[in-house]
Structure 1
Amino acid sequence: MIFRFSVLASGSTGNSLYIETEQHHLLIDCGLSGKKMIELLDQIDRKPEQIDGILITHEHSDHIKGLGVFARRFHTPVYANAKTWQAMADGIGEIPSEQKFEFAPNTIQDFGSLSIESFSVSHDAVDPMFYIIHDHGKQLALLTDLGYVSEHIKGLIQNSDAYIMEANHDTEMLMMGRYPWSVKRRILGDTGHISNDESGLALTEVLGNHTKKIYLAHLSRDNNMKELARMSVGQHLERVGLNLGQDIRLFDTDPEQATTLTAI
C-alpha cells in the first residue's frame, strides 16, 4: 500500500504537487514551463510519461503555465471545473477533447484507491478549488491560495495526516515593502493570500492526533522568508502545547527544488 507525495514547486513563480500510488501518478497544477516540470520530476526520479492525470486548482498562471505543453506532449488527461476550463483556455492553448475532464467543486472523484475531494476557496480566480486526497484512511490536505480559512474548510481538513498549507507573507514585511497599495490590499483581502500568522492560527484549530507533517507553501519572494514562516507558524503550534520535531514536523517548500518523495 503506497501513498507518496512531493511538492515539486511552490511559490509565486510556479506550483505543482506530485502524488502517487501503485496504480496512479498524478499532478495537482502544472505551473512551471514544460522543461522545468520534467526537471522537477527527474529530481524525484519520475518520468513525465508516468503522469496519468493533472488536476487544476484555478487558472492563475503560476498554476497552469506548463499545462498545455505538458498535456499535449505526453497526452495527459486534465481535470478542472467548468469555469476554470473556460478561464484558462487562452493561456494553455488547445487540448484534445479526449484529454479534457470536468471535476466540479465540492465533489469527490476516485483514482484507483485514491479518493480526491475538491472544495471551494475564497481567492480572486473565477472558481478556485483545492483538494483533499484520501487513501486507505490517510489524508493529505492541499490549501495554498485563499484569503481566509473558513469554518467549513476547517471542518473538511480536520485531523489530516499531512498539510500543504499556505504561509504567503509576513504582514509587517508586506506593509513595509515596495508593492503598491492596490496590490497589498489584494493580498490582505478576503480573496488574496493568508499570512504566516493566519496560517499558524488556522492550523492550531485543525490539527489532530493523526497530524505529523506540515509543509509551508506559496511563500512570497518579496514579503516572506522560510525561516520567518517556520518561526511564526511554529510559535502558534507550540502555544497549544505541540512539541516541534517530535509531535509534528514543519517542512519548507521551494520554487525550484522538489521536496523529498515521502509516504503520507
Structure 2
Amino acid sequence: MSLHFSVLASGSTGNAIYVETDEHSFLVDAGFSGRQMEALFQKIDRKIENLNGILVTHEHSDHIKGVGVLARKYDLPVYANQKTWSAMEGLIGEIPTEQKFTFDMETVKSFGGLSIESFGVSHDAAEPMFYVFHQDNKKIVLITDTGYVSDRMKGIISNANVYIFESNHDVQMLRMGRYPWNIKRRILSDVGHVSNEDAAVAMSDVIGDQTKRIYLAHLSLDNNLKDLARMSVTQTLQSRGLIVGESFDLYDTDPKIPTPLTAV
C-alpha cells in the first residue's frame, strides 16, 4: 500500500501538510484562507473534497485559519484534542457537532491500514500536539512548534522514514532582529520554537537506519533563510557523525509552494 505526502506550505505565515494512502487522505492544519488552501491542493493535483479529515495541532492562527471554512464548505471531519477545541472556539466559526471529533494526546487512531499517533510538544498553546503516520512499517513524523525536543518525544519519533522537522530560526538573526524583546524571549523559550542548531541536535538523536528524507519546516520569515538553515543543520549533524547525502537527504519547505507529492 502506498503512503504519500506533501508539505503544502510551511513557515511563520501559515502551515499545512497533506498525507495520503490508497484508501485515506488527511490534511494536518490549514493555516491559510479557504481560497489559498484550494490553490495549494490544485498544485499537487488533489481535491479537498476527497479528504477524510483535518487534523489540528494547536489553535494558533498560522495553523487554523482555514479549518472552519474548509470543514463547512466540504463537510469534513475535524480532529483535535478537547483543550484545543475549547481554545479554537470563536476563532474558526461554527462547525456542526457531527463533524467535530476528539483526538486525545498520546493516543492512536486507525483508518484502515493507516495509524495516526498523537504526541505532545512544548509550545505556548492550550495542548499542542503533533502526529506520526504509520503504515506497513513506514513512518512519517511531523514535529514543529516546540521549544525543545524532550527524550519522551524522541522515543516516539525515532527512526522515521521521513521527518518534517521544525528549523525555525537562526539565534543570531533573532537576537539582532527587529522583534521586541518579549517576543524574542518567547521564541527562545522552552515553549517557543527550536533553532536551526537545536533542531539538528535533536535530529541526530532520532535519525535511524530507515531515515531517508528530512524536511526543514516552519522557517521564520524574519529570522531565518533556507540556505542558512540547511547549512547550519548540515554542519551540526556532521559534527555529530551524520553526513547529509549519504543515507539521508535534507529538503526545503516553502511558505507558498508545495513540495512534490512524494512516496515514502
Q: Which TM-score band applies after superposition, normalised by the shorter structure?
A: over 0.9
Deviations 1:80-131 (A, max 9, x none): 0001001001110000111110000000001221111101111000000011
Give, in whole Å, the separation in 2 of the partners of 1:193 and 1:143: 11
Give the aligned residue type for 1:49. E
Alignment of 1:130-169 (within 5 A): 130-169=130-169
Deviations 1:104-161 (A, max 9, x none): 0000001221111101111000000011110110011100100100011011111111
Task: Specify the SS of the correspondent of 1:92.
Answer: coil
Q: Is 1:197 matched with 2:197?
A: yes
TM-score scaled to structure 1, two decimals?
Answer: 0.99
- Show the counterpart of 1:214: 214
- Show the counterpart of 1:188: 188
Deviations 1:181-226 (A, max 9, x none): 0000000001000000000000011101100000000000000000
Give, in whole Å, the separation in 2 of the partners of 1:207 and 1:158: 6
Give, in whole Å, the separation in 1 of the partners of 2:111 and 2:34: 24
Q: Which moved more, 1:210-219 or 1:231-240?
A: 231-240
Deviations 1:20-57 (A, max 9, x none): 00111110001111001010011100011111110000
TM-score scaled to structure 2, two decimals?
Answer: 0.99
Alignment of 1:1-16 (within 5 A): 1-16=1-16
Give the aligned residue type for 1:180. P
Give, in whole Å, the separation in 2 of the partners of 1:162 and 1:262: 10
In structure 1, runs of 5+ residues without a counterpart are: none
Contact 1:40/1:258 (<8 A) preserved:
yes
Contact 2:234/2:243 (<8 A) preserved:
no
Q: Is 1:229 matched with 2:209?
A: no
Q: Is 1:77 matched with 2:83?
A: no
Aligned residues: 264
- Show the counterpart of 2:255: 255
Give, in whole Å, the separation in 1 of the partners of 2:145 and 2:231: 21
Contact 1:242/1:248 (<8 A) preserved:
no
Give, in whole Å, the separation in 1 of the partners of 2:198 and 2:118: 22
Task: Specify the SS of the correspondent of 2:91.
Answer: helix
Give the aligned residue type for 1:20. E
Give the aligned residue type for 2:4. R
Aligned Cα RMSD in Å? 0.7
Q: Which moved more, 1:237-246 or 1:70-79?
A: 237-246
Contact 1:11/1:221 (<8 A) preserved:
yes
- Show the counterpart of 1:97: 97
- Show the counterpart of 1:40: 40
Give, in whole Å, the separation in 2 of the partners of 1:66 and 1:49: 14
In structure 2, runs of 5+ residues without a counterpart are: none
Alignment of 1:170-181 (within 5 A): 170-181=170-181
Contact 2:204/2:242 (<8 A) preserved:
no
Contact 2:164/2:216 (<8 A) preserved:
yes
Give, in whole Å, the separation in 1 of the partners of 2:214 and 2:245: 11
Give the aligned residue type for 2:47. K
Task: Specify the SS of the correspondent of 1:90.
Answer: coil
Give, in whole Å, the separation in 1 of the partners of 2:142 and 2:111: 17
Give the aligned residue type for 1:101. F
Contact 1:78/1:101 (<8 A) preserved:
yes
- Show the counterpart of 2:27: 27
Deviations 1:219-257 (A, max 9, x none): 000000000000000112222333322311100001100
